[in-house]
Structure 1
């Protein structure tokens, strides 16, 4: 895939601060006395707009002008697509930059650049996203998500798990879900019936879906009816080689 990528390699990654409290982080020029340091919050901003000169500078200035400090940022522009994507992670003082004011500031950027999307999240203060996880027979992706959620690293509410594989009542996953009150729905699928109507009924109140190695292809009609984001966390070779045995498809394609 051809990609023109613009990034900040010198900025620290978020996981570099994973074992440090935000209370221990300081803005440049602030006193060393921890008792006088502000209690900082963590935010994420995602931006999608037509590509234009100066967007990176404006995004950075929007955060810095309110005393925020960028922890990490990724910016990329697909070649010949004339669109711009960015994801910024930052810390800020909520007293100096109230949440409602933050929304207004990022909305100004959306208007300025006629952006298709400008989303800001402050996980400690915003309502949690409601998600549904779809999985098939293999557990590793599903189990990883559940354990991260249990440890508090995924700030979401899991409404249910849907699978085309029956795990039975005495499996590790079944015990985990039962212990945490997460419903498990087994919907056996066939080539003729993917049970998409029933899935839609179960996920109506979710904010997005997560495919944890769900080995079924969701139809265009399903995606249109659902109308929200669907995230595939399992590494794959889609969309060029969708369906069964993608590695074999690549070999036949001459790679």
Structure 2
């Protein structure tokens, strides 16, 4: 039976009748809702909803359902996406020298934990840097970058992203700041892992900054990339307690563990349609 696992994610101004209208449309189309979440933001007066449903009619199609949904979306001013979870998102991974997040994502992908297709890997270090990783069958692109060549290299990055029909870009400890132009092109579909519990310790060497401040908790943050460095809407965070016994190397080691799990969660929720941007924040409908 086609399209048995479809997700509808939406947001609009909070107003009466949204849930009823959406539910009636799905019922009339022969769909069965299997999971539903909603949130009313009392501060912004916005409404957010995620529905996962099965399309039970043998001749059902997402295209037909999208067309039927358009009048409802227009009536309520809804911003929305609808897609089958069987259609895996194509993810391009950007990485620099530190490869622990890349290694973790590849493991989760190969074992089926991350239901995505790896569109390729873009690195500003040569392939030999990752010789210990299984990159078999994955397009690998080595694009070195210096300050004078940054814009030229970034144009190549964008062309690879575009040519690969990439749905999501992941900065897996990619230690280059994206230009405002590229951030705009990737708005809402580029996730960065920052090795700090934002908004504290932005920019470079955050573990060293944390050590110098004598913090008792370190963390990591996965967020959408925006032109404002490390200011994008936060998707997920986690922390771990440390003490005065820990040196900088301990913080870096513990931080790697946090970074891996935080980034994996953020990607999972994004490709499941569980994350909706709410201004400078996000609404995350966890399962």
TM-score, structure 1 as length reference: 0.64
Contact 1:237 1:246 in 2 (8 A): no
Taking the aligned partners of 1:214 and 1:170, their CA distance within structure 2 comes to 14
**196, 210, 219: which is aligned to 2:154?**
196
Q: CA deviation at 1:156?
A: 4.1
The answer to whether residue 100 in structure 2 is matched with residue 140 in structure 1 is yes
Q: Is the 8 A contact 2:3 2:84 kept in 1?
A: no
Alignment gaps of 5+ in structure 2: 218-287
Identify which of 187, 190, 198 aligns with 1:231. Answer: 190
| Aligned-residue CA RMSD (Å) | 3.7
Residue 133 (structure 1) shift: 1.2
Residue 108 of structure 1 corresponds to 71
**Equivalenced residues, count:** 210
Is the CA contact (8 Å cut-off) linking 2:3 and 2:61 kept in structure 1? no
CA contact (8 A) 1:134 1:214 kept: yes
Please give the residue correspondences for 1:58-207 in structure 2 after superposition, counting only pairs within 5 Å: 58-95=21-58, 97-115=60-78, 117-124=79-86, 126=87, 128-152=88-112, 154=114, 156-168=116-128, 171-173=131-133, 176-177=134-135, 179-189=136-146, 193=150, 195-205=153-163, 206-207=166-167
> How far 1:155 moved relative to its partner?
5.0
Taking a change above 3 Å as real, the CA distance of residues 134 and 93 of structure 1, as seen in their structure-2 partners, is: same
Question: Which runs of 5 or more residues in structure 1 are unaligned?
Answer: 1-37
Distance 1:94 1:172, change over 3 A: farther
Distance 1:170 1:140, change over 3 A: closer
TM-score, normalising length from structure 2?
0.58
> C-alpha displacement at 1:59, in angstroms?
2.8
CA distance, structure 1, for counterparts of residue 144 and residue 35 of structure 2: 41
Cα displacement (A) at 1:200: 1.8
The change in CA–CA distance for 1:58 and 1:219 in structure 2 (over 3 A counts) is: same
